[in-house]
Structure 1
Amino acid sequence: MTFEVTSEFVEKLSKLIELRKDSAIKKLFEDVHYADIAEVLDEVDFDEAIYIIKLLDSEKTSEILTELDEDTRLRILDNLSAKEIAEEISEMDTDDAADIIGELSAERQRNVINALEDIEHAADIKELLSYKDNTAGALMAKELVKVYETWTVAGCLRRIRGQAKEVSRVHSIYVVDKKERLVGRLSLKDLIVAKNDQKIADIYISSVDAVNVNEDDEEVAKIMSKYDLEAIPVVDDNNVLLGRITIDDIVDVLKEEADRDYQLAAGLTQDVDSDDSILDLTKARLPWLILALFGGFISVSILGGFGDAMSKFPELFFFTPLIAAMAGNVGVQSSAIIVQGLANDSLRGSLFKRLLKETILSLFNGLILSVLLMSAGMLILGFNFNVGLTVAISLISVIILASLIGTFVPIILDKKNIDPALATGPFITTSNDILGILIYFLIAKLILGF
């Protein structure tokens, strides 16, 4: 049965904390998953959250900390001593430990690492902290099962039992040479059926996918997705095995990237959420709003330049917002599809063929929409044929241009190593609004002759 955080559960928990019924609180959380407990901590008062964290054993609370919202976790860590944080960190895999320690100040990082009793664990965490953000090195964990090609099967099995105690999930067994260089992987089936005196060199599989420690984390995600990998080893420039990246870490990368792309497309310049301060939200939104304001000012200036046309053919005015809106909508549709293809690494073929396809598609859509619009304008609103023809041709032209811009811009940004999601929001909408209005009145001037 799925656990649900109800008001009754929270009230009961608060009452137990008030009465200091520690045994009852522990029993209450005995069979509750750590992710659900993290959800509970987000619902209770902060002082109660601290009380629960300090009450439960580190084996469980270490998992809870990794699931908490970052702001909540930082507040909790601020109320724990370096020794208490070290106790939590000692129960975590090195990648999770490095992520959490990395959120602390430099001084607190040193104090926590110095408080760790396991010297090897501390050294591994320091190594992970030394890698650049958003790289395979910063994402990997040091825990893995590693065997040497010179070992016998019997010796290998003994050593694997010892290593596996430190690894929560054994996805693969990696084979290295005497210089710690990755040479292959070991099938558990082949290991079990092999004779005890056989050498690992005789049974390992030399084909193994690996990523460089400096590889971008999004590229790692693409590789693991393409080959359906649950884990992938990480090596340095000399092919020395350093660690491994598991699928749960990749899911986090994909989620963060999707959040960033969504916010860029919505016109936010940085990572924010609804609970952030007014100042942070303003800084994230204001740049794009200024761009939209600037774009609107240009549109107004264009309209001002065609004042005579508006006085001679006032019916043109009624279609101005429609033309601008269609330009923005078509541009966002085209760019969204391209950005999705770039993100999934599924975009294939030449740029010319892509643009040609978009041109044909937009021409087809534009013809249908323009016929509907021209018919409605002439039959329902009573506009003359020339005005209807002006609006129809303008709509087709705007749709074609907007789709080409929506296709072309994300691809160019991607080639320049700029996040293509930047193109899907106010940038495309504003630019197409301006161009749509300009094209509309230029075509009107040619047809209506003002």
Structure 2
Amino acid sequence: MQFQISNELIEKIKFLVEEKNNEELLLHLEDVHHADIAEILTELSLDEAVYVVKLMDSQKTAEALMELEENVRERILDTLTPKEIADELEEMDTDDAADIISELSLERQQNVIAEMADEEHADNIVELLRYDEDSAGGLMAKELVKVNENWSVTGCMTEMRQQAENVTRVHSIYVVDDKNKLKGRLSLKDLLTAPSRANISDIYIPQVDYVNVHTDGEEVARIMQKYDLEAIPVVDEMGRLVGRVTIDDIVDFIKEEAEKDYQMAAGISEGVEADDSVWRLTRARLPWLVLGLFGGLGSVYVMQGFEEALAKFPVLFFFTPLIAAMAGNVGVQSSAIIVQGLANNNLRGSLFKRLLKELSLSLINGVVLGLLIILFGLIVGQPQLVSLSIALSLLSVIILAALIGTFVPIILDKRGIDPAIATGPFITTSNDILGIFLFFYLSKVILGF
């Protein structure tokens, strides 16, 4: 049965903390999973959460800290001494420890590293901090199991037992040469069935997928997804094995990237949480709102240029929101498909073919919607020429918006700019202005004002 966190449990833990009944408190949390511990800490006040973290064994609280939202974790870490943080980091895999320590100020990082008793673990964390956080080097963990191609099967088993003590999960066994260069991988089945006097060089598999320390995280995710890998080795510029990226790390990376793209599409310029400060939330939202404001002013300016049209055909005014909405919706739909294709690396064919396909699709959609506008005009008794003008304008706006929605994210991607920006207010605003201008211009040509 799945563990359930109830109000009664939270109130009980709060009471035990207040009474400082450590024995019973530890008894309540003894068999609770670290992910549930993290959820419990979130429900407590800061002082209560810190009390629980300091009371419990670092091996369990270290895992719980990794499950916490970043803003909650930062507040807890701010209350801990460098020695207490170091104790937590020594219980973590190097990749998780590097993620935690990167959230601290440079001065605190140095103080925490200085307090770590395991110098090798500390050196590995410092090494990981040198890499970009969104690269394979920034995502990898140093803990892995590797064997030398010149070892015997018997000697290999002894070495593997020692290495496995520091590895949470053994996904793969990697084979290296005397210079630590990656040569291949070792099947556990082949290892167990091989003669004890055989050498690893006789039984290892030379084919192995790997990435460089500077490989972008999205490319790492694509490779692991394509080949269904639970882990992938990471090599440096000289081909030496330096770490591995595991599936749990890449899932966290994908989740963070998806959240970032979703916020960018919604018009939020930086990663924020609901509990962040008003100033940080304002800073993330205001730039796009300013863009929307100027876009709206641009639309007003365009409409002012067609005062004569509005005077002779005031009905056009009432269709302006429809034209703007359709332009924005079609642009966002087109750009969302392109951005998804770019993210998944499955966008095939030339830019011309892609634009031609989008043109065909928008032409079909525009004709159908235009016919519905004409039908609506017949039902309400609207002049046919006005209905035809609106329908043709709508068709043109849809085609233009679709082409912009396709073209812009591809160009942004080629220039190294996150194409997710094209699914938000940027493309909506630009399509609104161009759509309104095209609407009134074509109406002027057709209606002859």
Q: For the superposition of Structure 1 and Structure 2, which TM-score range results when normalised by the shorter chain? A: over 0.9
The offset of 1:378, in angstroms, is 2.7
CA-to-aligned-CA distance 1:16-66 (integer Å, 9 cap, x gap): 112211111111112211011101111111111011001111110111111
- 1:197-212 alignment, distance < 5 Å: 197-212=197-212
Matched, 1:434 2:433: yes
What is aligned with 1:101? 101
The CA deviation at 1:373 is 1.1
| Letter aligned with residue 372 of structure 1 | L
Stretch of structure 1 that moved more, 82-91 or 147-156: 82-91
**2:78 — aligned with what?**
78
Q: Distance in 2 between matches of 1:288 and 1:130?
A: 33
Q: Equivalents in 1 of 2:250, 2:22: separation in Å?
A: 37
**In 1, are the aligned partners of 2:371 and 2:391 still within 8 Å (CA)?**
yes
Q: Tell me the SS of whatever aligns to 2:275.
A: coil
Q: Is contact 1:315–1:383 with CA below 8 Å preserved after alignment? A: no
- What do residues 298-357 of structure 1 show as CA deviations (whole Å, max 9, x unaligned)? 111111111011111111111111011100000001111111111111211111111111
2:403 counterpart residue number: 404
Conserved? CA contact 2:335–2:405, under 8 Å: yes
Q: What residue identity is the alignment partner of 1:420?
A: P
Does the aligned pair in 2 maintain the 1:172–1:186 contact within 8 Å?
yes
What is the alpha-carbon distance in structure 1 between the residues aligned to residue 290 and residue 264 of structure 2? 15
- Residue in 1 aligned with 2:369? 369
- Counterpart residue number, 1:256: 256
- The residue identity in structure 2 corresponding to 1:170 is V
Q: Which amino acid aligns with 1:201?
A: S
Instruction: Indicate the residue corresponding to 1:296 in structure 2.
Output: 296
Once residues 175 and 389 of structure 1 are traced to their aligned partners in structure 2, the CA distance between those partners, rounded to angstroms, is 71
Contact 2:377 2:384 in 1 (8 A): no
Q: Is the 8 A contact 2:152 2:196 kept in 1?
A: yes
Separation of aligned partners in 2, 1:19 and 1:144: 44
TM-score between the two structures when normalised by the length of structure 1: 0.98
Read off the aligned partner of 1:121 and give its amino acid letter.
Answer: H
Q: Distance in 2 between matches of 1:439 and 1:214?
A: 46
CA deviations over 1:400-428 (Å, ceiling 9, x no partner): 11111111111111111110000001011
Contact 2:153 2:194 in 1 (8 A): yes
1:132 shift after superposition: 2.4
The separation in 1 between residues aligned to 2:291 and 2:109, in whole angstroms, is: 40
Distance 2:334 2:3 in 1: 42
Unpaired segments ≥5 residues, structure 2: none
Kept in 1: contact 2:71–2:276 (CA 8 A)? no
| C-alpha distance in structure 1 between counterparts of 2:176 and 2:37, whole Å | 40
Amino acid at match of 2:152: T
Whether the aligned pair in 2 keeps the contact of 1:145 and 1:167 (CA below 8 Å) is yes
Partner of 1:92, secondary structure, is: coil
Structure 2 residue aligned with 1:330? 330
Name the structure 2 match of 1:2: 2
Letter in 2 for 1:394: S
Gaps of 5+ in 1: none
Structure 1 SS opposite 2:244: strand
AA partner of residue 290 (structure 2): I
- The amino acid across from 1:303 in the alignment is M
Q: Is the 8 A contact 2:149 2:176 kept in 1?
A: yes
Shift of residue 204 of structure 1?
Answer: 0.5
Aligned to 1:139: 139
Please say if 1:445 is aligned against 2:447.
no
Shift of 1:136: 1.1
The AA in structure 1 aligned to 2:296 is: G
Could you give the per-residue CA deviations for residues 204-244 of structure 1, whole angstroms, max 9, x where no partner exists? 00001111111111211111111111101110111001011
For 2:88 and 2:281, locate their aligned partners in 1 and report how far apart those are by CA, in whole Å: 33
Runs (4+) off by over 4 Å:
none
Whole-Å separation in 2 of the counterparts to 1:337 and 1:352: 16
Question: Partners in 1 of 2:303 and 2:111 — Cα distance?
Answer: 64
Give a deviation string over 1:271-310, Cα, whole Å, max 9, x none. 1121111111111111111111111111111111110111
Task: Give the counterpart letter for 1:386 in structure 2.
Answer: L
Rounded Cα–Cα distance in structure 2 between residues aligned with 1:120 and 1:444:
73
Distance in 1, matches of 2:106 and 2:439, equals 58
What residue number does 1:277 align with?
Answer: 277
1:233 aligned counterpart, secondary structure: strand
Letter in 2 for 1:74: E
2:139–2:249 contact (8 Å) kept in structure 1: yes
Q: Is the 8 A contact 2:330 2:402 kept in 1?
A: yes
Partner SS for 2:185 = strand
Q: Secondary structure at the match of 1:150?
A: coil
Q: CA deviation at 1:5?
A: 2.2
> Which residue number corresponds to residue 387 of structure 2?
388
Superposed displacement of residue 2, structure 1? 2.0
Q: 1:167 is aligned with what amino acid?
A: V
Pairing 1:204-243 to 2, within 5 Å after superposition: 204-243=204-243
Deviation of the 1:4 alpha carbon: 2.5
Q: Secondary structure at the match of 1:174?
A: strand
Contact 2:148–2:178 (Cα < 8 Å) also in 1 = yes
How far does residue 120 in structure 1 lie from its aligned partner after superposition? 1.0
Counterparts of 1:317 and 1:88, CA distance in 2 = 64
- Structure 2 residue 108 is matched with structure 1 residue 112: no
Q: Distance in 2 between matches of 1:4 and 1:351?
A: 52
What's 2:318 paired with?
Answer: 318
SS in 2 for 1:175: strand
TM superposition score normalised by structure 2? 0.99
Matched residues in 2 for 1:71 and 1:429: separation?
32
RMSD between aligned residues? 0.9
Letter in 1 for 2:395: I
Report the Cα distance in structure 2 between the residues aligned to 1:260 and 1:4, rounded to whole angstroms. Answer: 30
Identity of aligned residues (%): 63
Match of 2:128 in 1: 128
